[in-house]
């Protein structure tokens, strides 16, 4: 019999926080639901074992002294899970990042964890490993906030086609060495990237990394197997390196093709000049104050998911629909759990298909606006942060 419990009238929550997208929306939703939050700044990662141990000890002291009903964080944080296990308190987490290697920590299986993950296929994969503490929960949009932002009049950010997001054109950390690989390895990886670019709805990057290729990758930038973790070395290379490369290539190529077809897509990234694109880069936009205006005032908003997301609906897609924007996205299976293609959003299956649908919906304004309105209404009715907080609490 479990010794974990939640008292009937929960009011006090310990909230380890880091600089995550949508953090303000999560905090507001929890507060609006009647919770008092004790916010505790925490580093997203801490490689130094001694510092991590000290952090865990401080978390335990804070939790024990506060009389909290449960602990909540955006993304699953293993050090928090360890502290919660020691304090015998329930730990709720809501993961929106992909990839998120922390989900493959063995600490995810601790009793008392409620790990909500936006990607249905990731949940299925973890369940297949015997992890029963993970639950599918899609992301959300703060429609009330967006309504206020989008009510502002003006023509700034108006466009036929817009995309907001990274081009992943900089290689950071240990993976930088892979850019100088020998001709065989470089050719293999380039071929793998090109093959994945042509396939939508399936990710075979990890499966294609054979033992000999992994040995060559390890020789250039060694990825040590993490202690007490379930992910493979191939998973690390596939999701943290190759998926980013595929995504960057795909996003840049889509921008080029639309531009070459006579369109004038607006790219909001701040990275375009570094990618050698001939598409004008409008620079990065603030997530809270500017991106909603882009989504609301663009005729077509593109979602081009990072390829490490296996089936989930990215946060960008909820934000677009929650702003009343018209969404054209690559295929992601989880969309079909909640929305109807052609009624709430539109998906494409290839680059030629995307170009055809862009042409069609630019010419059919009434149909485009009806789809955008339907997507907005469904997000408002069932996919806000308040809905999600209540869904999580109902699982306890």
Question: Are 309 and 261 within one domain?
Answer: yes
170-175 mean pLDDT:
74
Residue 50 falls inside a structural domain: yes
pLDDT attached to residue 116: 98
Q: In this predicted model, what pLDDT tens digit does every residue of 141-170 receive, in sequence order?
A: 999 999 999 998 889 999 999 999 999 887
Expressed as residue numbers, the domain containing 317 is 144-382
* Rounded distance between C-alpha atoms, residue 11 and residue 34, angstroms: 6
- CATH number at 55 reads 3.40.50.2000
Question: Are 190 and 321 within one domain?
Answer: yes
Question: Are 75 and 38 within one domain?
Answer: yes
Question: Are 190 and 244 within one domain?
Answer: yes
b/e map of 48-75 (b: 16 or more CB within 10 Å)? eeeebeebbeebbebbeebebbbbbbbb
Question: Are 268 and 285 within one domain?
Answer: yes
Residue 270 falls inside a structural domain: yes
> Which H or E element spans position 16?
strand 12-17
Q: In this predicted model, what pLDDT tens digit does every residue of 295-335 receive, in sequence order?
A: 999 999 999 999 999 999 999 999 999 999 999 999 999 99
Pick the last residue of a domain from 102, 137, 172.
Answer: 137
Query: Does residue 48 have a pLDDT over 70?
Result: no
Residue 2 falls inside a structural domain: no
Residue 27 falls inside a structural domain: yes
More confident residue, 376 or 281: 376
Question: Are 159 and 242 within one domain?
Answer: yes
pLDDT attached to residue 382: 98
Residue 330 falls inside a structural domain: yes
Question: Are 88 and 186 within one domain?
Answer: no
Tell me how many domains the chain contains.
Answer: 2
- In the Cβ-directed half-sphere of 139, how many Cα atoms lie within 13 Å? 28
Residue 395 falls inside a structural domain: no
Question: Are 129 and 165 within one domain?
Answer: no
Q: What is the largest CA-CA distance in the chain?
A: 65
Question: Are 58 and 182 within one domain?
Answer: no
Confidence tier at 229 by pLDDT (50, 70, 90): confident
Residue 5 falls inside a structural domain: no
Q: Which of 44, 124, 101, 83 lies closest to 225 in space, CA to CA?
A: 101
Residue 391 falls inside a structural domain: no
* Rounded distance between C-alpha atoms, residue 379 and residue 146, angstroms: 12
Pick the last residue of a domain from 105, 137, 169.
Answer: 137
Question: Are 231 and 321 within one domain?
Answer: yes
Pick the last residue of a domain from 77, 106, 137.
Answer: 137
Q: Is the pTM of this model over 0.85?
A: yes
Question: Are 26 and 85 within one domain?
Answer: yes
Question: Are 51 and 106 within one domain?
Answer: yes
């Amino acid at each position: 019999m479990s010794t974990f419990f939640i008292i009937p009238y929960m009011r006090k929550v310990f909230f380890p926080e880091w600089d995550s997208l949508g953090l303000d929306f999560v905090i507001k939703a929890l507060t609006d639901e009647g919770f008092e939050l004790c916010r505790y700044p925490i580093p997203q990662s801490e490689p130094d074992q001694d510092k991590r141990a000290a952090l865990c000890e401080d978390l335990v002291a804070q939790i024990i002294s506060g009389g909290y009903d449960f602990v909540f964080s955006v993304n699953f944080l293993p050090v928090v899970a360890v502290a919660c296990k020691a304090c015998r308190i329930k730990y709720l987490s809501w993961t929106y990042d992909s990839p998120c290697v922390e989900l493959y920590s063995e600490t995810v299986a601790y009793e008392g964890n409620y790990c909500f993950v936006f990607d249905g296929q990731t949940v299925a994969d973890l369940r297949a490993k015997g992890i029963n503490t993970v639950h599918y929960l899609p992301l959300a949009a703060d429609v009330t906030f967006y309504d206020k932002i989008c009510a502002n009049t003006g023509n700034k950010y108006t466009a036929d086609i817009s995309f907001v997001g990274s081009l992943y054109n900089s290689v950071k950390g240990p993976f930088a060495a892979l850019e100088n690989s020998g001709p065989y390895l470089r050719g293999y990886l380039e071929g793998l990237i090109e093959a994945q670019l042509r396939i939508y709805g399936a990710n075979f990057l990890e499966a294609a990394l054979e033992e000999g290729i992994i040995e060559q990758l390890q020789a250039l930038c060694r990825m040590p197997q993490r202690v007490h973790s379930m992910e493979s070395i191939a998973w690390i290379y596939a999701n943290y390196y190759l998926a980013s490369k595929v995504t960057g290539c795909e996003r840049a190529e889509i921008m080029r093709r639309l531009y070459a077809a006579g369109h004038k897509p607006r790219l909001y990234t701040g990275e375009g000049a570094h990618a050698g694109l001939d598409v004008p880069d409008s620079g990065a936009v603030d997530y809270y104050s500017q991106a909603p205006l882009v989504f609301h005032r663009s005729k077509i908003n593109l979602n081009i998911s990072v390829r490490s997301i296996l089936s989930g609906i990215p946060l960008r897609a909820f934000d677009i629909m929650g702003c009343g924007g018209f969404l054209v996205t690559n295929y992601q299976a989880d969309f079909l759990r909640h929305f109807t293609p052609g009624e709430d959003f539109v998906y494409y299956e290839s680059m030629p298909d995307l170009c055809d649908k862009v042409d069609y919906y630019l010419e059919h304004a009434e149909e485009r606006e009806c789809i955008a309105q339907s997507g907005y209404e469904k997000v408002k009715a069932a996919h806000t942060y308040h809905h999600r907080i209540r869904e999580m609490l109902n699982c306890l």
